[in-house]
Amino acid sequence: MALDMNPDFKGRDFLSIHDYTREEVAYILQFALQLKKMQKTGQPHQVLAGKTLGMIFQKPSTRTRVSFEVGMYQLGGYPLFLSPNDMQIGRGETIKDTALTLSRYLDGIMIRTYSHDEVLELAEHASIPVINGLTDLLHPCQVMGDMMTILEYKGTLQGIKLAFIGDGNNMAHSLLYGGAKTGMDVVIACPKGYEPEERIVKSAQQDALETGARLWVVEDPREAIENADVVYTDVWASMGQEKEAAEKEKHFARYQVNQRMLDLAKPDAIVMHCLPAKRGREITDEVMDGPNSVVFDEAENRRHIQKAIMALVMQ
């Protein structure tokens, strides 16, 4: 199976799904499916042989670190883990100087951090591709993997209804962008005061004019989940919000994805969670371990979609 590596992606950053056209998003998804098939059938695809990805982690990680590290290895490259405890950026070196230095050593940078502005600054000064592994604003690689999973189960994204039940966080933001670029309808259900950022909603709705996707925000989770093809949830308190967890639980109690809630969706609806999950809070064991759950297929696809992104931008 020959790999068609579109040269138009070479050298580009992957910071937000919003930055890519609908055709480019579709291409990445199909490329990831091809890479997955090759990996599953034992076909070599070491298209990044001799290249090195630096992975900066300001936030702890299970899925992001392992999926990027294994993915880079399978592409024939070398993944280099960079902890802030081991770098001068953790001791006051500027992001600009870090970007300029790493650009002399590496072929690409993946960063998982808090501030999205830091990622934008890193990308501005780096002469090599920068991949957003997560910020407090966006989680684009996760959503690309999510859409790959939906595509596998539903055969299409156009016209699929995805209901996200929970906090209007980085996942909600990236799902809105993902839906906008693929024609997938996305409804976010969250308590008042926890809505997605209005600027993200507006820019996603502008993107959606091209694909016909419907994007909206509601307060009632039951309204959102009715007749949904995909039911999605996430932790109520994201990393770094631990002090707010107890207060958030009061507001989010009726937003738990349990069997009663799931029964409002289509019978063949799939259940998704970006993980890690707080079982018994935003999702019950019954649902997460039930027949509708594709949570661990979704987790696996992080590796395949990120391989596609790395291969294309670092070629």
Positions marked active-site? 112, 139, 142, 234, 274, 302
Torsional class of 92: left (φ above 0), alpha (ψ -120 to 50), beta (otherwise)? left
Residue 52 pairs with which residues in a beta bridge? Answer: 78
DSSP characters over 274-308: -S---BTTTB-HHHHTSTTB-HHHHHHHHHHHHHH
In this structure, what token pair is assigned to residue 4? Answer: 């068609």
Torsional class of 227: left (φ above 0), alpha (ψ -120 to 50), beta (otherwise)? left
User: Cβ–Cβ contacts within 10 Å for residue 53, how many?
Assistant: 27
Q: HSE of 284 in the Cβ direction (CA atoms, 13 Å)?
A: 14
Burial label for 208, CB within 10 Å (0-12, 13-18, 19+), is buried
Burial label for 195, CB within 10 Å (0-12, 13-18, 19+), is middle
Burial label for 274, CB within 10 Å (0-12, 13-18, 19+), is buried
